[in-house]
Structure 1
């Protein structure tokens, strides 16, 4: 088939338009992900998807973008940086009385923003071509966005299963635009992880069970966001103060020394979520939760799971006199919340007992030394 325009020139223009729309990189690939199907099936067979039934329900459709939109010939893959200038990683993670929210969720929900920009890109291509079938995706359909991004040359799949870019690390969102034009494709990059396994060894719950393989059932992001029921008790102490998502595997990655900051104001941290005190967050009623998380990705977990996650974090926090009463005040809202509150209270009381022993032990040692020396007992 012949076209009234040069496809190579169009590919160049698409990348230029993408950058004008705020994407830091645009790549193009075909739709063939057949090499991913055996790995995807093995992952599903091991139940690594946990309660995410939609992962199994759509099956191999995830590896066949041409079936999502019949007639699709190419996938335009894009990335957009989201790391804010004042991420406050250490300040939050190193203070167990604060709640840590994954940095991608501190601002506006990226799904809508990226989808709108991709729609604008599709409209611009359509205006140039006169006739075009396209459809944008941002975590909105069963599609393997990371293998597509790697195939389009945006980076390589790291051992934590995220896309890594030599110049930008991994702090970016991905999106796809399916189109029915046979554009020239970009070349994938060679993996640059080498023998590094930092992401695997630093994972708090050991969720990266093998290179490029994550058992979602152990992943803190899954536990705090996707899991609807009770968080397994054995994993709760490992979660620390992470109340929505986890960034540890990215924080430790050497390639993130080259991370690029976002210039999107919508991704700037909301003050109430940036370095929040756990006890303050636990006081929010549902109306306040909905108001503060309006337009945020956090809202989708709902107030009940929000309280569940914070209860676990309070159970992991240092003992303070006002924590147990705050936990007890929330009892009776639901069986799910109550289970995690009772666990947190047990942790706090155990910590109080241990603290009492730590305080009393030096006093007992001084008393024994005084007796041995024959000194008065109040010495």
Structure 2
């Protein structure tokens, strides 16, 4: 018996917690009673995957805790590229993050990593008044992260009932990283896309996103580490949806993507550009949260299995009315940039009132840029 997919895909966080307890009561016993054929590692791996299927976890994989050497090499290449560009501070920060590709440096007793992918609805194409609305990336329209986290947590609870320990990861990665649970956050973080790649969920595309066969890159990821010995899955072999395609590299508004499936994260428009970089600030356009450009242009994302259902997000859910933000007194660098890109003179007053008088000097600088853009003299 499965929980209806529609219920799983669109539940809120409290509902997801209720679902967790429901599954715990009704289905753990079913998994416990599975045939115990094979080694302890084989049996536990089958039990975990069976429990995942019960809860409609379409994409789940297991990998070991050994270092991600292929990805470490790619990070080293990006560090070298940044150094050649004279961006030493960014190179140094990225160097610190290499630890996130060595799981045992985070938890030295980790033996296995379980990673799962949750599909989410792609953006709906729509026309809208760019003088009145901002936009958000599709991943932020619904709290898909709460759902995938509740599912991965449920697997963790099951593993704990078998006498093993678990270290859970948050799915909210922001830049391809997943933080550990609050009590363990000081230990570091783990790059989750390489984990998913090695666990066989998909491949890393030229846009550096994980591309899966059924859903393209329209997925969110979550993981857990455990000291339980599990049977690792094999990476996908012989499948590369990117091949000679480089459309995402050309389309990236921040010019953040490079050959070799490399991303300079600070150049991605998911990060607010420097206030001195007027050209890139203009390219942010209406995006208040995130950027979907490299995914929207990806041919692999046009052949996915996402179906249309009444409960899928509607076009207006991807839009953010800007006037209510001003009425609520909300102002930060990204809001200021989007207001400037509307070139709507009606936002001069709130930018002056909320932006130029903001206690944070960084916000004031972005507000000055936005006012200059509206008045046709950006940055002055």
* Alignment size in residue pairs: 318
Normalising by structure 1, what TM-score?
Answer: 0.73
Structure 2 CA distance for aligned equivalents of residues 170 and 348 of structure 1: 35
Structure 1 CA distance for aligned equivalents of residues 137 and 131 of structure 2: 15
Unaligned runs of 5+ in 1: 287-303, 352-379
Unaligned runs of 5+ in 2: 1-36, 171-177, 181-188
Residue equivalent to 1:314: 339
Residue equivalent to 2:126: 90
Residue equivalent to 1:19: 53
**Pairing of 1:166-205 with structure 2 (within 5 A):** 166-189=213-236, 190-205=239-254
Query: Could you list the per-position Cα deviations for residues 94-135 of structure 1 after superposition, in whole angstroms to 9, with x for gaps in the alignment?
Result: 84532011121223372x5433332220121332xx321221
Say which of 17, 30, 34 aligns to 2:64.
30
In structure 1, the residue corresponding to 2:197 is in which secondary structure? helix
Residue equivalent to 2:328: 284
Instruction: State the 1:52 CA deviation.
Output: 10
Give the aligned CA root-mean-square deviation in angstroms. Answer: 3.4
Does the 8 Å CA contact 2:204/2:211 hold for their aligned counterparts? yes
Larger radius of gyration: 1
Structure 1 CA distance for aligned equivalents of residues 228 and 112 of structure 2: 6
Does the 8 Å CA contact 2:275/2:369 hold for their aligned counterparts? no
Query: Could you list the per-position Cα deviations for residues 66-92 of structure 1 after superposition, in whole angstroms to 9, with x for gaps in the alignment?
Result: 2322222221111111227xx434335
In structure 2, the residue corresponding to 1:220 is in which secondary structure? coil
Say which of 187, 193, 201 aligns to 1:146.
193
Does the 8 Å CA contact 1:28/1:183 hold for their aligned counterparts? yes
Instruction: State the 1:345 CA deviation.
Output: 1.9
Does the 8 Å CA contact 1:315/1:345 hold for their aligned counterparts? yes
Does the 8 Å CA contact 2:211/2:217 hold for their aligned counterparts? yes
Say which of 154, 160, 183 aligns to 1:120.
154
Residue equivalent to 2:34: none
Structure 1 CA distance for aligned equivalents of residues 282 and 233 of structure 2: 45
Does the 8 Å CA contact 1:108/1:267 hold for their aligned counterparts? no
**Aligned pair 1:215/2:259, yes or no?**
no
Instruction: State the 1:43 CA deviation.
Output: 2.5
**Aligned pair 1:137/2:169, yes or no?**
yes
Query: Could you list the per-position Cα deviations for residues 162-186 of structure 1 after superposition, in whole angstroms to 9, with x for gaps in the alignment?
Result: 1001211111111112122332221
**Pairing of 1:48-87 with structure 2 (within 5 A):** 55-57=94-96, 59-83=97-121, 87=123
Residue equivalent to 2:293: 248
Does the 8 Å CA contact 2:256/2:265 hold for their aligned counterparts? yes
**Aligned pair 1:99/2:124, yes or no?**
no
Structure 1 CA distance for aligned equivalents of residues 106 and 312 of structure 2: 29
**Aligned pair 1:275/2:319, yes or no?**
yes
Instruction: State the 1:268 CA deviation.
Output: 5.9
In 2 relative to 1, CA 44–107 (structure 1 residues): closer, same or farther, beyond 3 Å? Answer: same
Residue equivalent to 1:349: 375
